[in-house]
Structure 1
Amino acid sequence: MTGNVSQPAFVLVRPQMGENIGAAARAMWNFGLDRMRLVAPRDGWPNPAADAMASGAGRLLDEAQLFPDLPDAVGDCTYVMATTARSRDLTKPVLSPERAMRVAAERIAEGQKVAVLFGPERAGLENEDIARANAIVSVPVNPGFASLNLAQCVLLTAYEWRRQTQHVQVEMTEPGTAGWATGQEVEKLAMHYEQRLDGAGFFFPDTKAASMKVNLRNLWSRMPLTTADVQMLHGIMRQMVRWKERGE
């Protein structure tokens, strides 16, 4: 593989449908993962159906490593995690996807090789597969309907990997091409409105004028204005003044 070695290998164990393999590749690449390993895919390999579903992530399929069985697929790994909805009465640490990917990141940073196992579509991983894992990754799904599509499980796990290894902004607002308004631009806008509103007799009575002006300034400072917003607000006030003057 030519991909980044500082990431876990995602191992698809006996996947049944080429479409799901392709969708899994797309999900991995969405979050910067490109180390796919395939264990005995039912319909053989390569698979044209996988290429059709990869949608831009075909390189992952071209570089995917093919193995005849699971021991060969994880033979070079020092820590293996198995995704499953059930512990199957096997005594192992059971981790949430978030915790699992944090552990993966920590172990990889120490120089270890980590693999994450995903089972076939119909019934998931067998006990024999899970027995070879060091830990279980369990998604908190509806217990009455615990089955996850293969690509969905890959997507969820890859997303958690991204969260643990990249800075994720929990909220942001893009200002557009105009950019955020500067303090000087907002100050001129505030002065424009204050002057026009003062001329219109808005600040009445005189005893409340000072506090009303402070409140108006506070209003402008609370608003996340862009330069385009400021220009539009200037234009609104100018047009209102022109309309009033024409009416007179």
Structure 2
Amino acid sequence: RARVEAGPRTGILFGRERFGLYNDEVGLADEIVTFPVDPGFSSLNIAQAVLLMSYEWMKSGLADETETNFSGPELVPANKEQLHSLFAYLENALEARGYFRPEEKKPKMVDNLRAVLTRAGFAEPELKVLRGIISSLDRFSPAMPRGDGSPGDDPRRLPAGARSRAKDEES
């Protein structure tokens, strides 16, 4: 790392999995890096070696070794109000489609559905995705796979089977 910061261009050579680098290749190196490995398994495959070297290189450039650049986006957890709103929305969409059958099993089905969705610990953007998926159930159907947008009454926009049914209804 000190050489890189001093200005000269630096490269890292990785040996072949079977036998490493040739002697003339080793002769080009200013420094040799080896990894302490189990003598019974004295070689790493190239992917493991590149991963390990890259990780150690990244760590060597950090002010604090516990600080890493590996992190996901900061997601704000959804609050209970948002989650319960999603539950109500989903339950209404499923109810409208006759999902809760037989009717006497509906309370248990709702409990199971809420348990599955609660366990995930969704963030706000994830709830928005789910709400979008559920709302698509309202806009799209087998008869109208592209939604109910205009021109909704145009039979040319219907799938072939629905188009022939629409013609029969007009006759």
TM range, normalised to the smaller chain? 0.3 to 0.5
- Which structure features the higher share of helix residues? 2
- Which structure features the higher share of strand residues? 1
Higher relative CO (Cα under 8 Å, sequence separation at least 6) belongs to 1
